[in-house]
Amino acid sequence: MSNFKPEVTFKEREFGEVKTKTERFSTYREVLKNMKSLLERSFDDEVCVSRSRRGEWGEWFERWSLRQGKPYKYKATWL
């Protein structure tokens, strides 16, 4: 069974350039706690999360954005 830490990817403007940033978290719960701040840092208001799910094989992928000021998961699928 695959088991790895959640990884968040987003685009951030840094010194006039847009760079892709990747951050790892120890748990998915931490990702959810920090989601709003991650979305606010994101250049295009989109954050991608890849993670494993307990008791499942493979990799789970999610796309998040802001909707009316709140984090909203608009796509979730297996990779």
> Which residue ranges make up each domain of the chain?
7-78
Backbone angles phi, psi at 72, to 5 degrees: -135, 125
Q: What is the pLDDT of residues 50-76, one digit of tens each?
A: 998 877 777 899 999 999 989 999 999
What pTM value is reported for the model? 0.85
If 0-12 CB within 10 Å is exposed, 13-18 middle and 19+ buried, where does residue 76 land? exposed
Sign of CA dihedral 42, 43, 45, 47: negative
Contact 42, 35 (CB under 8 A): no
Q: With 70 as the cut, is the pLDDT of residue 2 above it?
A: no
Question: How far apart (Å, rounded) are the C-alpha atoms in residues 65 and 70?
Answer: 8
